[in-house]
Chains A and B, each alone.
Chain A
Amino acid sequence: MVAAKKTKKTHESINNRLALVMKSGKYTLGYKTVLKSLRSSKGKLIIIANNCPPLRKSEIEYYAMLCKVGVHHYNGNNVDLGTACGKYFRVCCLSIIEPGDSDIIKSMPGDH
């Protein structure tokens, strides 16, 4: 029970931090731009939805490993991630380029 509560709390905090990034920072949404941001080493944190196809997930993780960038597996599918970003479309993966006022980069890469 304690574990379930803890995940709910951290899940909400990710959503809050993401909302702050959407408001104040720079980000890109979508697989193609995520890879672009990794190639140009502009991405600082990658967030992947849980229903991302496994091949695509592995590919993004491999690029992130080469780049030494953290990857966060979001606890929700692409519909939820899109809603968390405040968008009306599905988002499978997103890359945070500049966190703005948020501390998502400092607090998130701890949990994978």
Chain B
Amino acid sequence: MVKFLKPNKAVIVLQGRYAGRKAVIVKSFDEGTRDRPYGHCLVAGIKKYPNKVIRKDSRKKTDKKSRVKCFVKVVNYQHLMPTRYTLDVDLKDVVTADALQSKDKKVAACKATKERFQERFKTGKNRWFFTKLRF
């Protein structure tokens, strides 16, 4: 009775190229649109997870290990597994529906989410989101 597919919810993508990857809902379209007459949402997720960083690593190594590769996608609700976790990273201005129109806009959106995800990873919060799901 409580809607849970809301922005900032962490989800796991179940189908497609990014199956098994964790993502965060940026914008949800419960009713669907004319092009997509089903419930779907815009997600920003992690294509390549950051590696484990240990205290022994040099500055150059931690930077290399903390790199995150991102993706931006419109996914059907049926192809997502919602979780109880949330990730409050402000991506609303960066990831928009028209960011997916052209390739270079998409690349720019991915670059910006990459920055935000990397700085969030460096603070050490939301550790669940940045660990790879083992299956």
Contacts and interface: CB of A to CB of B under 8 A. Distances in A.
A44 B1 contact: yes
A68 B1 contact: yes
Contacts of B4: 41, 66-67
B77 interface: yes
Contacts of B1: 41, 43-44, 67-69
B2 A68 contact: yes
B84 interface: yes
Contacts of A35: 78
A63 interface: yes
Interface residues of A, number: 13
B82 to A, nearest CB: 6
A54 to B, nearest CB: 16
Given A66-B82, A66-B84, A40 B2 contact: no
A40 B32 CA distance: 12
Interface of B: 1-5, 30, 39, 77-78, 81-82, 84
